[in-house]
Structure 1
Amino acid sequence: MINKTYCLALIILVLQHLSMAQNNTYSKEAFVKGTDTLLYRLLLPENFDPAKKYPVLFFLHGSGERGNNNEAQLTHGGKLFQSERMRKDFPAIVIFPQCPAKDFWANVQFRNTGERFGFQTGGEPGKVMSLLMELVEDYRDQKYADKDRFYAGGLSMGGMGTLELLRRKPKVFAAAVSICGGDHVDNVKKYRKVPVWFFHGEKDTTVPAEKSKVVVAELQRLKAKDVKLTLYPEAGHNSWDAAFAEAELLPWVFGHER
């Protein structure tokens, strides 16, 4: 006959283990709005206390990580925000949403000739951007979220999406990071008050470095609050590894408040 006290102790031990595991890994989540769903991964700070307030960071992946497995979006950047340094020095709520395979974070028209990226101005956000904006607001409503310390970042398609998110919600984010992204210069004025750190590889043939340079130049012309540009002379499209290795990246991001 099985000892009931032993079983209870075992159950408690298993639940504690699961709780600790979830606190150190990205849990799988889904944001549902009507008939639409946005999958995302969520990383809570260690020893998360809902009675406290925490910064919230949204990170947008590139086009190669699109899909519906709720896993691929962690390919680039997942380890950075799960690092010991991040967990110890910058406890924050980290959210990695996943863009569906046939969607795109930003409103961009692709052309086969001439200028490949047709960044759009104005207009309504696409379905996945609309869902992302709703998700942002959902977390802003949480009592444990510090509304003065919301951050956004992304690479490639996600870098473009980050800039679109900023222009659509310029009063929400305290700082942002755009890695090998881009935008239409006419949109820049809408987020000139948001500190942004741009990264790009000079040898990027997928999204040319000029896409970041023109945005930064316009921000500087508008006397933006805080804009930085880091170029890697020998890097191609993958400038994110170098960006993630920047010692000042995390302190710079989390050092900003609205």
Structure 2
Amino acid sequence: MKAVLVCFIIAFGFFQTYAQTKADFVKDEFIYKGDTLPVRVLYPKDFNPANKYPLVLFLHGRGESGSDNEKQLMHGANMFLDSAFRQDYPAVVVFPQCATDSYWANVKITTDQNGKRHFSFRKSGKPTKAMTLLLKYLDERLADNLYLDRQRYYVGGLSMGGMGTYELLRRKRHKFAAAFAICGGDNPKNVKKYDDVPLWLFHGEKDDVVDPQFTKNIAAELERRGATYKLTLYPNDNHNSWDSAFAEKDLLPWLLSHRRK
């Protein structure tokens, strides 16, 4: 009985720590023309609005869509909550949440008779409702925050969020200093719109949800255009290559080392 009690206390203490840590992401929302973008914001420790801080936007995958302003923290949040990161790289980290009836990227998705999804990435077209909200959030809400360093805006995401990362880069040229995309995709013809942004691309070679060839095609076009990029392929990873990407110790230091000229 005593051993069970000790285990319960340890487990409860862990849960409390986890809950309090996740709660460090402050809840917010942005409303535009009646539509709401749920947002969670992590401020640096000892935040001082008189200082200048880099901004990191993180775009979640399809599975974390919704309106609860919770699920978007499922993947990636712990990477930014790491005590060493927060000590060495004070930054404002923003996790917006895409609604279930929208998508970060303007991509046509079809499902075959076996349930497999196929993605057709577009070169143009109007942004989705979710992307429209994100663009307005950048232009209206974040633009008012004088504590953000305009030369140090960064964006990254996984799966649908990786696709959204490419789209945000092409719709907001000259806005971001660097970016990363995990198991995402884009039309290679769009690369010319963001080939001046240092990029780190990740994908699992065994991904059966989003074909790794999408990332390889983007990398090939970046290479052809003489762009600055890094490509990391995980031979044994399926779609959840974000676990391996988040374990890359150089990812965030690399990202935050860049400054927009």
Q: Could you say if the C-alpha distance between residues 219 and 23 of structure 1 is closer, same or farther in structure 2, counting changes exceeding 3 Å?
A: same
Whole-angstrom CA distance in 1 between matches of 2:25 and 2:110: 36
Q: Cα distance, 1:140 vs. partner?
A: 3.0
Aligned-partner Cα distance in 2 for 1:34–1:106:
20
- Secondary structure of the 2:165 match is helix
CA-CA distance at 1:147 after TM superposition: 0.1
Q: Residue 120 of structure 1 aligns with which residue?
A: 122
Q: Deviations over 1:222-248 (max 9, x none)?
A: 111x11100000000011011011011
* 2:229 matches 1:227: yes
Does 1:245 find its partner at 2:244?
A: no
5+ residue gaps, structure 1: 1-20
Q: Hey, what's the Cα distance between the residues in 1 that align with 2:174 and 2:148?
A: 16
Shift of residue 250, structure 1, vs aligned partner: 1.0
Which aligned pairs between 1:192-211 and structure 2 lie closer than 5 A? 192-211=195-214
1:24 CA displacement: 7.1
Give the share of equivalent positions with the same residue, in percent. Answer: 51
Mapping of 1:85-124 within 5 angstroms? 85-113=84-112, 116-124=118-126
Checking the alignment, whether the CA contact within 8 Å between 2:188 and 2:217 is kept in structure 1 is yes
Partner of residue 155 from structure 2, selected from 147, 152, 158: 152
Cα separation, 2, equivalents of 1:23 and 1:119:
34
The CA distance in 2 between the partners of 1:123 and 1:75, in whole Å, is 30
Q: Which amino acid aligns with 2:41?
A: L
Aligned alpha-carbon RMSD (Å) = 1.6
TM-score w.r.t. structure 1 length? 0.89
Residue 111 of structure 1, CA deviation: 2.0
Shift of 1:134: 1.3
**Cα distance, 1:115–1:68 mapped onto 2, change above 3 Å:** closer
Contact 1:149 1:173 in 2 (8 A): yes
- 1:30 deviates by 0.2
User: How far apart, CA to CA, are the structure 2 residues paired with 1:148 and 1:140?
Assistant: 13
Stretches of structure 2 lacking an aligned partner (at least 5 in a row) = 1-19
